[in-house]
Amino acid sequence: MATKTTKLVSPTPTPQDRPTRAEAEAAVRTLINWAGDDPTRDGLIETPSRVARAFEEYFRGYAQDPEDILNKTFEEIEGYDEMIVLRGIRFESHCEHHMAPIIGRAWVGYIPNGRVVGISKLARVVEAYAKRLQIQEKMTAQIANAIETVLQPQGVAVVIKAEHQCMTARGVMKPGTDLVTSRMLGIFRDNAITRQEFLSMVD
């Protein structure tokens, strides 16, 4: 049986600490002004409201508990104990350093230990972590750790490939480059043949 991973909870603002929508929109107006434009001109007058709505979409993952997503499982699997892999899960996230977009795909695999989860739930877990301010390394570990904690499978494997606009659209300006990260737990870490079988499915 896989070792249960301690859940790491990042501090999040309480409802009392969270700024109001009006304060968020005022902050956007300040940034527009700081950038050198006039937030009161016709083309920008509604931008603060639009940005606030966009942020609600970009960062809706803070309102979701990925482990809860995985809680409904199925045990009638006729003893199935082979690899389960969901490939190429597209996601959009934002870099916590520059708030620039991260656009990529995730490959998520596990070997069950008596129960499985609906495949859409694996995609939802990726989405829940992606819709937060992130670094790719942390997101990769969070996805794997959540699956291990809830399902307690024989092993979990996660690979993420993504392009970071913080380095493709600014700074070093290297479009076309991507970052690849992986997290291997249980049998995927301990058994090179199993790990290679999973990696052969990553394209």
> Which tokens in the block code for residue 63?
């309102």
Q: For residue range 105-151, list pLDDT tens digits in order.
A: 999 999 999 999 999 999 999 999 999 999 999 999 999 999 999 99
CATH number of 69-199: 3.30.1130.10
Q: Is the dihedral of CA 132, 182, 88, 171 positive or negative?
A: positive
**What's the whole-model pTM score?**
0.89
Residue 191: pLDDT above 70? yes
Active site positions, annotated: 95-98, 136, 164, 166
- Whole-angstrom distance, CA of residue 90 vs CA of residue 192: 27
Domain residues of the chain, as ranges?
21-58, 69-199
> Which tokens in the block code for residue 114?
């008596």
Question: How high is the pLDDT of residue 44?
Answer: 98
From start to end of the chain, where are the E strands? 73-74, 84-95, 101-111, 116-117, 133-134, 155-164, 179-186
Q: For residue range 38-97, list pLDDT tens digits in order.
A: 999 999 999 999 999 999 999 999 999 999 999 999 999 999 999 999 999 999 999 999
> Which tokens in the block code for residue 174?
């290297």
